[in-house]
Structure 1
Amino acid sequence: MQNFKLVLASTSPYRAEILTKLNIPFIQQPSDIEETEIPGETPDARAMRLSREKAEAVVKHLTNSSSEQNDCSYLVIGSDQVAHIDGEVLHKPGNFDNAVRQLKKSSGKQAAFHTGLTLINAQSGEHLSDCEITRVNFLELTESQITNYLKIEEPYNCAGSFKSEGLGVTLFESIETSDPNSLVGLPLIKLTKLLRKFGVEPLS
């Protein structure tokens, strides 16, 4: 196996917690990109584009500032999630009122979460990308259920206004996915496949 150092292009504690499941040492580095929207861009395309741009920004930072490139190559993981209901993108609500409006709109409907994933070898520039789609079917929610949930968990920095790793699951009728980690923001099954293509074996 090559001497790779794994880098997560995110400061998200949720993504970091998922990545620790692979039992591979890694560091976190913020990507600091502007998450622009391109008119007409599909959710899949946007999620993969932003995941690539996040990884590329961190690669640029590492190659410009690190003297360790002579000793090892960085594998940089970029991930981004785009959620929508009926074609309308679900942004991070930021506050209670926006979260109430978002959950009321989600009540009884299906939301699709497109999680883009990119892995870049910082030394060679080789990169691989993929996208995982998770569909969340919401219960018919009462106003008191929405209000009580938001007061307990305050998920204002989460797209969709819920934390699926917490009480957010009480808002769901069902989840359709091949990887439950994807909803939190990092599709671990697809990541494992990409890592193996670069010669990184989690079970070595």
Structure 2
Amino acid sequence: MTNIILASTSASRKKILKKLALPFTCIAPTCDETPLAQESAIDLVLRLSQIKAQSIAKKYPDAIVIGSDQVGLLDSKIIGKPYTREKAIAQLLASSGKTVNFYTGLSVIHLASQQNITTYEPFNVTFRQLSLAEITAYVDKDQPFQCAGSFKCDELGITLFEKLDGNDLNALVGLPLIQLNQIMIRMGFNPLLIK
């Protein structure tokens, strides 16, 4: 049995990974998620995904460790998790009627076979024109305080959008499952064949 570890305690990522019907455990990674000076959104998610996976892989070298991170880019500025009601409302007001570019990083590490693949998945979200009343009602109902961009697209957040543009909706939720499956196959761990 191949040991698989998701370097995250995110309920959304856990739910997505369950779709592969593989046994796995979740372990919280230890890392500073502060962006570096002049760091692009893509460089940030690649670096954080890898750091998260590496922090767990060091302790479990025989395991396949999966790390992921996500940020949005609005008007050339990185947006992340709001953490508070006020910041969630402000993020959604700023996003109203605009397209936000999301980048979800993915890092898969298997130290025992010296394999380490890190990539990212883009996904663009176009918000419809939203009123303050709609935004406030949404935030109070879905409480998306731990979600980059201040929405849960797999829940009531879907009502905020005019258009979604990307290859894998799972990436927008927090884990690029299509790419993860392809990487695992390349590494010799085909999810359909793992027993």
TM-score by length of 2: 0.95
> Which residue of structure 2 aligns with residue 80 of structure 1?
69
Whichever residue aligns with residue 49 of structure 2, its letter is S
Whether 1:203 and 2:192 are equivalent positions in the alignment is yes
The structure having more radius of gyration, on CA atoms, is 1
Write out aligned runs for 1:1-204 (5 A): 3-63=1-61, 73-204=62-193
- Bigger drift between 129-138 and 28-37 goes to 28-37
Deviates further, 15-24 or 86-95: 86-95
CA distance in 1, matches of 2:71, 2:163: 19
Ranges of 4+ aligned residues in structure 1 off by more than 6 Å: none
In structure 1, C-alpha distance between the alignment counterparts of 2:72 and 2:36, rounded to whole Å: 15
> Does the residue aligned with 1:10 lie in a helix, a strand or coil?
coil
Give the unaligned 5+ runs of structure 2: none
Q: Give the Å deviation of 1:89.
A: 1.3
TM-score between both structures, scaled by the size of structure 1:
0.91
- Using the aligned pairs only, state the percent identity: 40
Indicate the larger mover: 54-63 or 10-19: 54-63
| Counterpart AA for 1:58 | I
Pairwise CA distance, 1:155: 0.9
Residues 6-47 of structure 1 deviation map (CA, whole Å, 9 limit, x = unaligned): 110001110010000001111111102111211222211111
Counterpart amino acid of 2:17? L
Structure 1 CA distance, aligned partners of 2:35 and 2:133? 34
Tell me the distance in 1 between the aligned counterparts of 2:51 and 2:185.
22
Gaps of at least 5 residues in structure 1 are 64-72
Q: CA RMSD in A?
A: 1.1
The one-letter amino acid paired with 1:80 is D
Deviations 1:171-201 (A, max 9, x none): 0001101001001110000000000011112
Aligned residues: 193
